[in-house]
Amino acid sequence: MKTVKSQFKFKGGVHPDYNKELARDKAIERMGVPAELVVSMSQHLGAPAKCLVKAGDYVRRGQLIGEKNGFISVCVRAPADGLVKAVEKRLGPAGGKADAVVLDTTAAAPEGSPPAAEGPVLPPLDWRSAPREDLLKRVEEAGICGMGGAGFPTAVKLNPPPGKRCEYLILNGAECEPYLTADFRVMLERADRIRTGVEIMRKILGGPAVRIAIEANKPEAIAAMEKAFADIEGNVEIVVLPVLYPQGSEKHQIFATVGRVVPEPPALPIDVGCVVENVGTVAAIADAVEKGEPLLERVTTISGDAVAEPKNVLAPSGTKYSDLVAFCGGTKEPPAKVISGGTMMGFAVSTMDIATTKTTSGLLLLSPRRVFQYASGSCINCGRCLRACPMNLNPALISKAVDASDIKSAEDAHVMDCIECGACSFGCPAYRTITQSCRRAKNSIRARIAAEKAKAAAAKEAK
C-alpha cells in the first residue's frame, strides 16, 4: 500500500469557503431514538420501496417495512421499535413527496406483537468463507445505498452486468462540500470498518485494485487510512487529491484517481471499469456482513453559524430535522436559511418537519450574515461560468434558454450532462440562478421522456 498524489486535474472547478472548522473536531455522537420517526420509502435513487405495513401495526427494529420495488430500488427496514401511526405522503429533503411510515417509538408493544429482537437483526457472516453471492445478497437485504450522493443501490453497483468488469474500486473520501465533516469523522473513527468493507467489496467484485481518494486538506484522514490499510495485500493506493470543488463528483474522482473519462450518459463508471463508493457506505457494508446490522442510521453533520453546537450526529433514519437541531442545543438565533446537504449541492428547506434519509449528509443552519440576499440580473457574458463548469458545458447559454422556456435548446446544449454541482452559480457576477435553471430543464426533459414512454406503452397495449 502506498500514498500517491493525483496525476490528473479536471477542467473547471471552484474554491468555495469550506467552513469545516465548525464541526471537524467534533467526535461522532450517537443520538437516542426520538419519540417520532418519519421513515420514507424513497431514500434512494430509483423506484420507491413498496410499503409493507399499515397504521396500527407494531414493528420491531430491523423489520422489513418496505420491499425493493424494481431493479433500481432498495428495501427499507424499521430504524427502531414503534407503532405505525400513519402511512402518508411526506415531504423529503429534495422537495418531492413520497410515502412515509410515521412511527411512534414511545408506544408500548400491543399484545400479539412480534417479540423484541434478540441479538443481531441478520445472521452475521464470515466474509472470508461466505460465497460472493451471499455477500452480495447481504448488501441488498441490509438496504444499503450510496450514502454520499444520490443513493444509488449498492448491490446493483457491486454486480456489474455481463461483459463488464470492475478493475478499480474507488473509495470516495473527498467530502468537498463546504461545512460537511461526516465522512471525515467516519474515516477517523471507523477506519477499521472501512478496511473490512474494502475486503468484502474486493471479494464481491473479483479482486479489483483499490484507490482511496481523499482531498489534501484532510491529512488526519489520510493518516488514519494509511494506518488501517498498512498491511493490506494487493494493489491498494491512497490518492491525495488537490483541494478543488467538485472533487467528490463520481466522474471527476474517477478521472483524478485513475485518469479515465466516463462518457456521456447513459454510460456509467463501470463502462470504464470503475466502481465508486462513499467511505460511509463501505463501513455500512462491513457492519451488514460482520455484525448483521442493516443500514438503519447514519452520521449527519449539523452545522452553520446559527446552530448552538455544531456536531456530527449518528441518528436513526427518519429523524426529523427539528430533533437533530434540538440534540445540538437548538439555535443561537433564528436561521435565515436551512439547507439539507451542503451549500453547493444541497436543497433549501422551509420546514424542520422533514426527516433524514440514508443519504442525508448534512443539515446547515445559516444566520442572515451568511446568507447573501441578491437580485438575479441579466447575463453580462463574462464567461466565468464556462470556465468553472467541470462538465465542459455552456451554463450561460443553458440558463438563457431556460429563461426563454426553450428547453429544446437547453437539451441541445447537453444540459442532461449537468451534475448540478453549483460551480457555475457560485461565481456568477450577475447572481444568476444557473444551477436551478439546469435542474428545471432536466426535470422537464425527464417528464417529457416519461410521458413519451407512457404514450408508447399505451399505444402498444391498444394494438
Tell me how far apart the alpha carbons of residues 418 and 396 are, in angstroms, rounded to a whole number: 13
Q: Are 195 and 228 in contact (CB under 8 A)?
A: yes
> What's the closest the beta carbon of residue 146 comes to ligand SF4, in angstroms?
19
Q: Distance between terminal CA atoms of the chain?
A: 61
**Which residue, 153, 158, 135, 126, is CA-closest to 45?**
153
Is 4 or 150 the residue whose CB approaches ligand SF4 more closely? 150
From candidates 298, 428, 441, 442, binder to ligand SF4 by CB under 6 A: 428
Long-range contacts of range 61-68, CB-CB < 8 Å, 24 or more positions apart?
Answer: 61/117, 61/121, 61/296, 62/117, 62/121, 62/122, 62/294, 62/296, 63/114, 65/39, 65/101, 66/39, 66/41, 66/101, 68/140
The torsion angles phi and psi of 12, rounded to 5 degrees, stand at 80, -155
CB of 9 to ligand SF4, least distance (A): 16
Residue of 49, 142, 424, 441 that binds ligand SF4 (CB under 6 A): 424
Regarding 404 and contact with ligand SF4 (CB under 6 A), the answer is no
List the one residue from 384, 402, 407, 410 that touches ligand SF4 (CB under 6 A).
384
**Sign, CA torsion 144/444/424/269:** positive
Q: What character string, x for contact with ligand SF4 (CB under 6 A) and - otherwise, covers 172-211?
A: ----------------------------------------
CA distance readout (Å), 238 to 137, 186, 312:
29, 16, 24
When the beta carbons of 255 and 321 are compared against ligand SF4, the nearer one is 255
In contact, 317 and 358? CB cutoff 8 Å? yes
Give the shortest CB-197-to-ligand SF4 separation in angstroms. Answer: 30
Report the residue number, 23 or 410, with the smaller CB distance to ligand SF4. 410
Site for ligand SF4 contains 272 (CB under 6 A): no
Sheet order of strands, 36-40 included: 36-40, 97-104, 82-91, 58-59
Consecutive H or E run containing 30: strand 29-30
Among 185, 421, 441, 442, binds ligand SF4 (CB under 6 A): 421
For ligand SF4, which is the closer residue by CB, 318 or 422? 422
Given the complex with ligand SF4, which of 53 and 423 has the nearer CB atom? 423
Identified binder of ligand SF4 from the candidate list 170, 285, 391, 407, rule CB under 6 A: 391
Q: Applying CB under 6 A, does 389 fall inside the site for ligand SF4? A: yes
Classify residue 148 by its DSSP letter: S
Nearest to 205 by CA among 277, 256, 259, 144: 277
Q: Least separation, in Å, of the C-beta of 413 and ligand SF4?
A: 9
Which region among 154-162, 220-228, 352-360, 377-385 touches ligand SF4 (by CB under 6 A)?
A: 377-385
Instruction: Work out whether 401 is an interface residue with ligand SF4 (CB under 6 A).
Output: no
SS3 340: strand
Q: Does 435 bind ligand SF4 (CB under 6 A)?
A: yes
Alpha helical stretches, state H, 132-178:
132-141, 154-157
User: Using CB under 6 A, which residues numbered 206 to 235 contact ligand SF4?
Assistant: none
- What is d(CA 316, CA 142) in angstroms, rounded to the nearest whole number? 14
Among 83, 198, 438, 441, binds ligand SF4 (CB under 6 A): 438
Burial (CB count within 10 angstroms: exposed 0-12, middle 13-18, buried 19+), residue 454: exposed
Residues 331-360 close enough to bind ligand SF4 by CB under 6 A:
none
Residue from 379, 407, 410, 413 touching ligand SF4 (CB under 6 A): that is 379
Concatenated DSSP letters of 372-401: ------------HHHHH-TT---HHHHHHH
Shortest Å, Cβ 437 to ligand SF4: 9
Q: Which of 2, 369, 383, 404 binds ligand SF4 (CB under 6 A)?
A: 383
| Contact pattern from residue 64 through residue 93 relative to ligand SF4, giving x for each residue in contact according to CB under 6 A and a dash for the rest | ------------------------------
Residue with smaller CB distance to ligand SF4, 29 or 420: 420
Query: Residue 410 and residue 437: Cα distance in Å, rounded?
Result: 9
Residues found near ligand SF4 in the complex (CB under 6 A): 379-385, 388-389, 391, 393, 395-396, 399, 418-424, 428-430, 432, 434-435, 438
